[in-house]
Amino acid sequence: MHGLINRALQYFVTDTYGSDRWEEVVRIARLDFAEFEAMLHYEDALTEQVIAAIVKTLGVKRAMVLEDIGTYLVTHPNVEALRRLLRFGGESFPEFLQSLDDLADRSRLAVEDLELPELELDDLGDGAYSLSCRHVHGGFGYVLMGLLRTMADDYGALALLDHAFGQEGEEIIDIKLVDADFSPGRGFDLGAHVA
C-alpha cells in the first residue's frame, strides 16, 4: 500500500490521540520502524496490521475507526491540503459528488503510483445517489463515509449516508441529499495561500 495511505493512518492516530498511542500501535503491529514515509511503498499486510492495532488499542470497531479516519482527513488542519484538493471537485456538494468518478485519475495526476479506489456515482434523481467503491482492499468505503459526511458539512449540505456491500464485493454508499443549502458551510478560496 502506498506510503501516503499508511502515513494517513499514522497522522490520524498521532493528531487525534497523541504520539504515545502511535507508539503503542507500532508495538502491537510489530513494525520495525517508527514512522511511515509518505513516498515509499509498503507491504499491504502491514497496513492491515496497523489498522488491526489501532482497532485494538482504541477498543472501537474497525468500521468506526475507518470512518473516523475519513472525517479526520478533511477536518484536521494538519491535512488541510487534502480538503482543498477535494474542494477543487466542484462548487456545490452535488457537483463534488459528480467529481468523485475522477478522483482516482485526479490523484494520479499528482502522485502517479497512488492507487485510490475506483468510484462510480449513480444519480438516481430526487437527491438520491448511489456510489460504488472498488478496491482490492475492502474498507475504503467506510473511510469514504466519514469523508463524505464531513464534506457535506464543508459545503453546507445536509445528507444521509448508508454503507452496504454489493454483489461483487464492492462497497456501496447510498446518499440522500436532504438540503444542499442547509448551512453556510466552510469557505473555499480558490487562490488561498497554502502552507
Under the rule (CB under 8 A), what is the footprint of another protein? 4, 7, 37-40, 81-82, 84-85, 88, 90-91, 106-107, 109-111, 188-194
* Distance of closest approach, residue 34 Cβ to another protein, in angstroms: 11
Residue number, 182 or 188, with CB nearest to another protein: 188
CB proximity list for 78: less than 8 A, separation 6 or greater: 11, 15
Q: From the CB of 120, what's the least distance to another protein, in Å? A: 21
Residue number, 37 or 181, with CB nearest to another protein: 37
Based on its alpha-carbon atoms, the radius of gyration of the chain, rounded to whole angstroms, reads 17
**Shortest CB 62 distance to another protein, Å:** 27
Main-chain phi, psi angles of 176, to 5 degrees: -120, 110
Please name the residue that has the C-alpha cell 488541510. 80
Question: Is 124 or 192 the residue whose CB approaches another protein more closely?
Answer: 192
Name the residue nearer to another protein (CB basis): 58 or 180. 180
What distance, in Å, lies between the first and last C-alpha atoms of the chain? 27
What distance in Å separates the CA atoms of residue 41 and residue 195, rounded to the nearest whole number? 26
